Amino acid sequence: METKHITIPINQFITQLASDKENGLLSDEAIKRLQKFGSNVIQADKGKSPLRILLEQFNSLMVWLLLFAAGLSFWFQEYLDATAILLVILINAVVGFWMELQALRSMNALKKMASVPSKVFRDGKLIEIPSEELVPGDVLFLEAGDIITADARIIQAAQLSVNEASLTGEAMPVEKKETELPEKTPLAERTNMLHKGTYVTNGNAKALVTATGMQTELGKIAHLVQSAKQSATPLEKKLQVFSRKLIYITIILVVLIFVVGLLTHGDYVEMLETAIALAVAAIPEGLPIVATLALAQGMMKMAKHKIIVKKLAAVETLGGTTIICTDKTGTLTQNKIEVSEVIPVDIASEKNKELLTRIGMLCNTASVEINNNGVNEIGDPLETGLLKYAYKQGVLKEQVEKIFPKINEVPFSSETKMMATLHKNGNGFTVFAKGAAEELLNQCTFIVNGYDKSQLTEQLKDEWKQKAEKLAASGLRIIAGAYKETTNENTPLLEDLIFAGLYCMIDPPAEDVYQAIQEAKDAGIRVVMITGDHPATANCIANQLHISSENEPISGKDMQPYEHLTEIDKQKWLQTSVFARVTPAQKLDLVTVLQEQGNIVGMTGDGVNDAPALKKADIGIAMGQRGTQVAQEVSDMVLKDDAFSSIVHAIKQGRIIFSNIQKFVIYLLSCNMSELFVVSLAALSNLHFQLLPLQILFINLVTDVLPALALGVSEGNPYVMKHNPRNPSEPLLKTKQWYAVWVYAAVISVCTLGAVFVSHYFIHAGTQFDPKLCNNILFFTLIFCQLFHVFNMASAKVSFFKSEVFRNRYVWYALLSCTLIILALFFATPVKEALNIQPLNTEDWVVVFVSATCSLLVIQLLKRLKIIHDED
């Protein structure tokens, strides 16, 4: 095992890799290396090949049944029928293949969108690049929450710790630093190395990329890493159960029809084929894949709205969300943080003001570049806000940092709510610190006094805390600044500080949040604000947005750990809408309490410590811009625009998709059921114009499928967000919907048989019974009844012509295509023969269309009179 990369002195290593500590690689060189070393990707899981997907289409109960029917036809030398059935198998396989491929493509495209970028120094600038483009020699910059995207040797680290569980199984974060290690140090003890696939839990670091892609430690064990297989979503599982049930019912009915047919009719081959055709019609084998397709398309649609849903199951859970727990900064607010005012301790002192500017600028990990092309900001908006403030005062971070180089740092964490940096200052050192006012004040023992400092008494401390609280109550974000001078390089950075003043920052609510909150309320979804900010700031913003409850905001310091919670505490939590100064651990407790009460919780988060709460929530929502890579990795959904309105939009889409799948199922079921009715009735009453097996197959595999698919991509009606969330434990179809299916099927069957009756007794009264004509009327009426039936899938709360189905262009495309296919039937002689079709006269066509319209009208009437309900 080659271990030179951990033993060699770092500077020598940098030279060896022809890189530069400060400037990184030159872009040209990086391109050359990318060609030489290849993309930084792990090629472990290539997924199913298209050929395999295609072949799998032929392995299903339906195909076996059809093959049996084809065999039967061959045996009895009905070659046309046999060929037609084989064709049906082929068409069916192609459609299934296409659908599965589409779903897979969408998912792959989404995977790419969710991939994490890397921050590297190239040509002397810190930039973000797609991680696939990393090459050995690149100088990486990593912060808490970043996923490590290549193997790298640490050049410089500040309080760095890394979670390496994915590689070594060690759950606790490991401390890392720049050092040289002896040869053959085992992987888990290589404290000077960072490894691909692990993540930074604390601190920050600069590191030299040593290996990429399959050369990394992760790449070497890639074959062991189980491919993350998407398991079936609850909806898909529900559909599988549903399909199985239907199969049993169908088998019983089909056997019954076959036996009865035999007893009355006698031609057992035809009866067997009819039975098989019916079985094929009724077995909803395509349901799960259609659901997958609808979910995957929903994901793509959301992606266009900058919402990346990572798991199919999440799309579905979204629809059932009952509570959204959202953070404030950047989700409800604009996150364009601006310093509106600084309040020095000594208001008259310019020096004190300058000091605050310097603290805000140097105790800062962000960077802002202002040039002719505009402003390029990297880092936390609070920090870029401070940098822009400094810039307005005419000071540039890069210049000042040269005079006061940073040598150490205590990075910001949501737990401490503070950070500090240590800078060289001539022969001594200066510490700059900033953080939440009440926290930082607690770390101060002195206060600025003119050119000097004086003792910070408890009384003074309280006065400043109250001042901060008052300012916060007007919705401002308040940060305190402090410093100290020292000669001791190892001084604890967050102790004995000199309080210098406050920064007041504005971060107003985002424009579209008001409307989104109202929409959520209308949809029976509660919005709860969980923020790290001050309770007064949080409450003010909550009031502006109308999300406050009667209960006062709960502050993190008053929240007991989960084990100590009483029932009363839990009830109080349940009724409160604003939680402030909350730590990530408390977020997790809150999710637990809310879930215990049967809520489906959507929870936003961005920090590395939010990961457990994001995982625990039913829908973990990470912010694409602000969120750490770890938060994005563990969450179910990433909002590229960090906007609250996107969450509500996603919930709406989730509901629409579910309702589309439901409509799709109701439509197909009622169509299939009507065929079963018609064929059973015809068999039982020994009518001599029974539907032929191929006709049944034609209806099911051609004319039913297209409108059904169109229903799957419907836009949804305006009422999707006007009812309470669906209970996810409910079955796919409720009893009332089953009832609707039976009624629809009955109406369609009556109208279809009625058409034959009218044609025979009125149009062709007195002529001899023509079984072929009657059969054709039956066939075409059934087709058009079913085609028109698609309009019955619209909400009865919306007027017919304005409904989501009427306005769905895909429905019209589907109807048009079906009509063209039917027209084409009359010209394609072999198909015409196989389907036993003859030209109909105008009167007969009128009967067909009037009957189909009748079935539409009757069902519309029943729905609008609320005799049947098929909506949630």
Q: From the candidates 138, 146, 151, 327, which is the catalytic residue?
A: 327
Question: Nearer Cβ to ligand ATP, position 191 or 609?
Answer: 609
With binding defined as CB under 6 A, does residue 236 bind ligand ATP?
no
Indicate the residue among 327 and 704 with the shorter CB distance to ligand ATP: 327
* Run of H or E including 341: strand 338-344
Q: Nearest approach, Cβ of 634 to ligand ATP (angstroms)?
A: 17
Q: How many residues bind ligand ATP (CB under 6 A)?
A: 18
Contact between 642 and ligand ATP per CB under 6 A: no
Contact 48, 104 (CB under 8 A): yes
Kindly state whether residue 380 participates in binding ligand ATP, applying the rule CB under 6 A: yes
Which of 24, 145, 319, 435 binds ligand ATP (CB under 6 A)? It is 435
| 327 near ligand ATP, judged by CB under 6 A | yes
CA distance 781 to 851: 7
Q: What is the dihedral of CA 828, 831, 833, 834, to 10 degrees?
A: 180
- Is there binding between residue 532 and ligand ATP (CB under 6 A)? yes
Nearest-approach distance from CB 724 to ligand ATP, in angstroms = 27
Which C-beta is closer to ligand ATP: that of 265 or that of 640? Answer: 640
Quick one: which of 163, 317, 334, 414 contacts ligand ATP (CB under 6 A)?
A: 414
Closest contact distance (angstroms) between CB of 627 and ligand ATP is 10
Does position 505 interact with ligand ATP (CB under 6 A)? The reply is no
Using CB under 6 A, pick the residue from 417, 453, 764, 789 that binds ligand ATP. 417
Residue span binding ligand ATP (CB under 6 A) among the ranges 340-348, 376-384, 485-493, 560-568: 376-384
Q: Tell me the closest approach of the beta carbon of residue 293 to ligand ATP, in angstroms.
A: 37
Q: Are 216 and 150 in contact (CB under 8 A)?
A: yes
User: Is residue 535 within the footprint of ligand ATP (CB under 6 A)?
Assistant: no
In the complex with ligand ATP, the residue whose CB is nearer, 328 or 526, is: 328
Beta-strand ranges (E) seen in 516-594 are 526-530, 554-555, 578-580
Which stretch, 467-475, 529-537, 669-677, 789-797, contacts ligand ATP (CB under 6 A)? Answer: 529-537
**Contact, 564 vs 573, CB < 8 A?**
no
| C-alpha span between 525 and 738 (Å, rounded) | 28
Near ligand ATP by CB under 6 A, which window of 370-378, 510-518, 530-538, 847-855? Answer: 530-538
**Is 383 near ligand ATP (CB under 6 A)?**
yes
Among 359, 419, 603, 617, binds ligand ATP (CB under 6 A): 419
- 687's CB contacts (< 8 A; 6+ apart) are 681, 774
Q: In sequence order, what are the residues at sequence separation of 6 or more whose Cβ sits closer than 8 angstroms to the Cβ of residue 684?
A: 260, 264
806: CB partners within 8 A, 6+ apart: 791, 794, 800
CA nearest to 553, candidates 562, 561, 543, 544 = 543
356 binds ligand ATP, rule: CB under 6 A: no
382 contributes a contact to ligand ATP by CB under 6 A: yes
| Other Cβ atoms within 10 Å of 199 Cβ, number | 26
Q: CB of 322: closest distance to ligand ATP in angstroms?
A: 21
Q: Minimal distance in Å, beta carbon 606 to ligand ATP?
A: 7
Does the footprint of ligand ATP cover residue 412 (CB under 6 A)? Answer: yes
Stretch that binds ligand ATP, among 91-99, 109-117, 429-437, 678-686 (CB under 6 A): 429-437
Q: How many CA atoms lie within 13 A of 43 on its CB side?
A: 5
Q: Alpha-carbon distance 255 to 263, whole Å?
A: 12
Instruction: Give whichever of 528 and 748 is closer to ligand ATP, judged by the CB atom.
Output: 528
Which one, of 702, 703, 707, 724, lies nearest residue 663 by Cα?
A: 707
Name which of 413 and 703 has its Cβ closer to ligand ATP.
Answer: 413
Query: How far, CA to CA in Å, does 298 sit from each of 227, 312, 802, 835, 860?
Result: 24, 9, 22, 37, 29
Q: Which of 379, 376, 349, 353 is nearest to 366 (CA)?
A: 379
Binding window for ligand ATP (CB under 6 A); candidates: 287-295, 411-419, 641-649, 699-707: 411-419
Whole-number Å distance between alpha carbons of 713 and 51: 27
Residue of minimal Cβ distance to ligand ATP: 532
Classify 137 as helix, strand or coil: coil
Q: Residue 308 CB, nearest distance to ligand ATP (Å)?
A: 20
**CA 524 from centroid of its chain's CA atoms:** 21
Residue number with CB closer to ligand ATP (189 or 415): 415
Q: Are 482 and 498 in contact (CB under 8 A)?
A: yes
3-class SS shares of the chain: helix, strand, coil, % to 5: 50, 15, 30
With respect to ligand ATP, which residue has the nearer C-beta, 332 or 696?
A: 332
Report the b/e string of 752-768 with b at 16+ CB within 10 A.
bbbbbebbbeebbeeee
Question: Which stretch in 265-273, 432-440, 679-687, 695-703 sits in contact with ligand ATP by CB under 6 A?
Answer: 432-440
State the nearest-atom distance from the C-beta of 435 to ligand ATP, in Å: 4
- From residue 707 to residue 726, the character string flagging contacts with ligand ATP as x (rule: CB under 6 A) and all else as - is --------------------
Tell which one of 329, 384, 609, 653 touches ligand ATP (CB under 6 A): 329
Return the residue of 33, 153, 358, 434 that touches ligand ATP, per CB under 6 A: 434
Contact between 328 and ligand ATP per CB under 6 A: yes
Pairing label, strands 338-344, 323-326: unpaired
Alpha carbon of 484 to those of 313, 365, 422, 430, 453: distances in Å?
Answer: 53, 19, 10, 6, 10
Is 327 in the active site?
A: yes
Does residue 361 belong to the site contacting ligand ATP (CB under 6 A)?
no
The token duo for 766 is: 């007195």
x-or-dash string of contact with ligand ATP, 44-83, rule CB under 6 A: ----------------------------------------
- Cβ-contact 331, 623 below 8 angstroms: yes
Residue whose CB is less far from ligand ATP, 507 or 872: 507
Beta bridge partners of 350: none
Q: Which residues would be at the binding site for ligand ATP (CB under 6 A)?
A: 327-329, 380, 382-383, 412, 414, 417-419, 434-436, 479, 531-533
Catalytically active residues are: 327
